[in-house]
């Protein structure tokens, strides 16, 4: 080796050593910067996503301030809330029974009116106060839904629930309101509910000893939606592979939509699909397409169309209302999906309360007997329900203590910057209403934890749960309120009336009111009962 070659090697080695060191330093500086930034963002009320926003927002406010001396100083007020952890924020709030955790966090931060928190990069606000809930839900700014990958993968962005606020969403709501949810249509499907109620009571009458009610209620609810939406009639007692497949698809959908997807909030995790949500959706969607698609094809082939159902309605749409094949699948699938679970969950909670409070059950039965007659009387009909006062109060009290959607199921998204409860809320913020906490607020409700249907009997005028009074709005309120609320409440009230008129309900082994929050909040331990027929008994 010559001396020049040796010099070159030495220089190269030094250079490479230096650059390695430089790179290491650079990486160290960058890592420290990232950690400092993460800690800086995290140090703000509401955690990292809010910190990220406030760090730019303050600057722009100051800029505005230089140009506009009238700028309100309130703009600098930050919404109180937990910081959570750096980067991930308050993911743990959503871990299980989110409504309870959020209510506790809001109390701890003295932020029950409005609390800010972060899930990764997503800014959230949540209220546990009815006045602020009204401000959020009734504002046009919050007429959109946040993007959820599972909802998009499951095609719900083309159905009412997750469609962006706009012409398409308005068209779908109008079509559904006219052909599925209007009072005339609900009345027209009365015989379907009566038929399913008869099947339900027959199936319970044949049970000996203790049994769980959940499976039968879910099946009855699914049969009801299948009949009114698809025009397909199934018997509760018959085993049908098609129906079992559909029930399985619906259950899988609930799990997917009810799971908090980390990728929705932490962008660098999105591609990894760690929870296999994208993967499971991709397996589920072709099955849904096949199932619903074959029902549509069947309807297209049926030229006689004697019994017009919702599929026929969608197929007959013309002009700007006409839906593509895939949009039709999304809309129909959503109806089955939304209409099945909520009603069955609500009825199970009502029956649980009836078993737990035999004196209330007796009062309901006395009212039913007064309207319809006692032992040996005729069968109760949906028309009889209009004459009831006490049972609707019982249903409201159950909706108050056990709302199927304690956080109103699906959140809202701010389309533009706005002000809520005096705080600046930027566009792109996700808003939630903790209806569970509002409905148990001791400042609003006397003895809020007690089951007292009588509280709804003395008010004048009658308390509406349909969204005009935010102290109890289990179906939401404003533009995105539940379109199926009349149908859902009519079905649940009628079936419960029928079941209580037909049977006395007793617990088989106590009643456990522990909750589990999936897409809806249901009983963690399914209700198990023993029933005794009443109508055959002398009163």
Hey, which residues between 151 and 210 contact ligand HEM (CB under 6 A)? 160-161, 173
Would you say 109 is a known binding-site residue? no
DSSP, collapsed to helix, strand or coil, labels residue 525 as coil
Helix orientation angle between 390-401 and 485-502, rounded to the nearest 10 degrees:
120
Contact 153, 281 (CB under 8 A): yes
Q: Which stretch binds ligand HEM (CB under 6 A): 59-67, 312-320, 337-345, 444-452?
A: 337-345
Quick check: 117 binds ligand HEM (CB under 6 A)?
no
Q: Which stretch binds ligand HEM (CB under 6 A): 13-21, 101-109, 388-396, 478-486?
A: 478-486
Contact 448, 138 (CB under 8 A): no
Residue 532 CB, shortest distance to ligand HEM, in Å, is 27
Cis before residue 461, ω within 30 degrees of 0? yes
CA distance 427 to 407: 21
Q: Which stretch binds ligand HEM (CB under 6 A): 23-31, 231-239, 309-317, 336-344?
A: 336-344
CA distance 97 to 113: 20
Chain position whose Cβ is nearest to ligand HEM: 476
Residues in the chain: 539
Contact 494, 193 (CB under 8 A): yes
CA distance 114 to 431: 10
Hey, which residues between 123 and 142 contact ligand HEM (CB under 6 A)? 137
* Residue 235: C-alpha distances to residues 125, 194, 229 (Å): 45, 13, 16
Quick check: 488 binds ligand HEM (CB under 6 A)?
yes
Which residue from 139, 201, 342, 418 is in contact with ligand HEM, where contact means CB under 6 A? 342
How many angstroms separate the first and last alpha carbons of the chain? 115
| 392 vs 484 by CB, closer to ligand HEM | 484
One-character DSSP codes across 82-137? ---BTTTBSGGGGSSSHHHHHHHHHHHTT-SS-EEEEETTEEEEEE-SHHHHHHHH
Q: Which stretch binds ligand HEM (CB under 6 A): 65-73, 288-296, 331-339, 388-396?
A: 331-339
- 264: its two tokens: 């929705």
Residue 374 CB, shortest distance to ligand HEM, in Å, is 29
Residue 341 CB, shortest distance to ligand HEM, in Å, is 9
Site string for ligand HEM, 402-441 (x = CB under 6 A): --xx--xxx-------------------------------
| 112 vs 221 by CB, closer to ligand HEM | 221
| 154 vs 408 by CB, closer to ligand HEM | 408
Quick check: 480 binds ligand HEM (CB under 6 A)?
yes
Which residue from 227, 393, 474, 503 is in contact with ligand HEM, where contact means CB under 6 A? 474
Hey, which residues between 15 and 74 contact ligand HEM (CB under 6 A)? none
Which residue from 141, 487, 496, 517 is in contact with ligand HEM, where contact means CB under 6 A? 487
Contact 103, 128 (CB under 8 A): yes
* Residue 511: C-alpha distances to residues 261, 322, 498 (Å): 33, 49, 21
Quick check: 220 binds ligand HEM (CB under 6 A)?
no
Residue 344 CB, shortest distance to ligand HEM, in Å, is 9
Which residue from 119, 385, 482, 511 is in contact with ligand HEM, where contact means CB under 6 A? 482
Reference 323, options 439, 172, 466; nearest CA is: 172
Q: Which residues are annotated as a binding site?
A: 482
Q: Which residues make up the interface to ligand HEM (CB under 6 A)? A: 137, 160-161, 173, 334-335, 338-339, 342-343, 346, 404-405, 408-410, 474-477, 480-484, 487-488, 492
Q: Which residues are annotated as a binding site for heme?
A: 482
């Amino acid at each position: 080796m010559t001396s020049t070659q040796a010099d070159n090697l030495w220089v190269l080695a030094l250079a490479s050593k230096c650059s390695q060191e430089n790179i290491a330093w650079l990486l160290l500086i960058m890592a420290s910067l990232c950690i400092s930034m993460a800690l800086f963002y995290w140090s703000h009320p509401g955690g990292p996503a809010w910190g990220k926003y406030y760090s730019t927002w303050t600057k722009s406010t100051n800029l505005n301030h230089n140009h506009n001396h009238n700028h309100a100083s309130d703009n600098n007020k930050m919404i109180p809330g937990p910081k959570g952890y750096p980067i991930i924020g308050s993911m743990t709030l959503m871990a299980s029974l989110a409504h309870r955790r959020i209510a506790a966090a809001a109390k701890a931060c003295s932020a029950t009116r409005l609390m800010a928190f972060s899930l990764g990069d997503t800014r959230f606000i949540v209220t546990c106060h009815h006045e602020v809930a009204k401000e959020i839900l009734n504002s046009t700014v919050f007429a959109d839904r946040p993007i959820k990958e599972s909802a998009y993968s499951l095609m719900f962005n083309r159905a009412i629930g997750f469609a962006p606020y706009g012409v398409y969403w308005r068209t779908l709501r109008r079509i559904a309101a006219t052909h599925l949810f209007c009072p005339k249509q609900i009345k027209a499907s009365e015989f379907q509910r009566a038929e399913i109620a008869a099947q339900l009571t027959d199936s319970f009458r044949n049970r000996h000893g203790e049994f769980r009610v959940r499976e039968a209620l879910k099946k009855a609810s699914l049969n009801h939606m299948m009949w009114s939406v698809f025009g397909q009639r199934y018997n509760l007692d018959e085993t049908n592979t098609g129906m079992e497949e559909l029930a399985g698809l619906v259950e899988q959908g609930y799990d997917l939509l009810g799971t908090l997807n980390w990728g929705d909030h932490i962008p660098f995790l999105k591609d990894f699909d760690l929870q296999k949500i994208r993967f499971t959706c991709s397996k589920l969607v072709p099955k849904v397409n096949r199932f619903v698609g074959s029902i549509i094809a069947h309807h297209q082939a049926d030229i006689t169309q004697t019994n017009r159902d919702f599929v026929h309605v969608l197929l007959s749409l013309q002009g700007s209302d006409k839906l593509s094949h895939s949009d039709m699948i999304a809309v129909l699938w959503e109806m089955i999906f939304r209409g099945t679970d909520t009603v069955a969950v609500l009825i199970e909670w009502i029956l649980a309360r009836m078993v737990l409070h035999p004196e209330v059950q007796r009062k309901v039965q006395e009212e039913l007997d007064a309207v319809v007659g006692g032992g040996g009387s005729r069968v109760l009909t949906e028309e009889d329900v209009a004459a009831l006062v006490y049972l609707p109060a019982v249903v409201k009290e159950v909706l108050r203590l056990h709302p199927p959607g304690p956080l109103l199921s699906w959140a809202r998204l701010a389309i533009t910057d706005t002000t809520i409860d005096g705080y600046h809320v930027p566009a792109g913020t996700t808003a939630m209403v903790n209806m569970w906490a509002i409905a148990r607020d001791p400042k609003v409700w006397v003895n809020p934890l007690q089951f007292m249907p009588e509280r709804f009997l003395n008010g004048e005028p009658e308390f509406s749960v349909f969204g005009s009074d935010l102290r109890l709005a289990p179906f939401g309120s404003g533009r995105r309120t539940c379109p199926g609320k009349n149908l859902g409440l009519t079905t649940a009230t009628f079936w419960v009336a029928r079941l209580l008129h037909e049977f006395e309900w007793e617990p088989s082994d106590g009643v456990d009111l522990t909750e589990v929050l999936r897409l809806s909040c249901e009983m963690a331990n399914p209700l198990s009962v023993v029933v005794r027929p009443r109508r055959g008994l002398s009163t």
